[in-house]
Amino acid sequence: MIWVLDASVAVRWFIEEEVHPHADEVLDKLIDEPERFAVSELFAFEVFSVLQRIHPNGLEVFGQGIIPLLQGGIFRQPMTESLAVKANRFVKLGLTGYDACYAALAHDLKGRWLTFDEKAHNLIKKEKVSFCLDEKMPGNWHR
The reported pTM is 0.95
Cα gap 10→45, rounded to integer Å: 12
Write the pLDDT tens digit of every residue in 63-93.
999 999 999 999 999 999 999 999 999 999 9
Report domain extents, the chain: 3-132
Cα gap 136→28, rounded to integer Å: 16
**CATH number among 3.40.50.1010, 3.40.30.10, 3.40.50.300, 3.30.420.40, domain 3-132:** 3.40.50.1010
Three-state secondary-structure class, residue 16: helix
Write the pLDDT tens digit of every residue in 3-19.
999 999 999 999 988 89
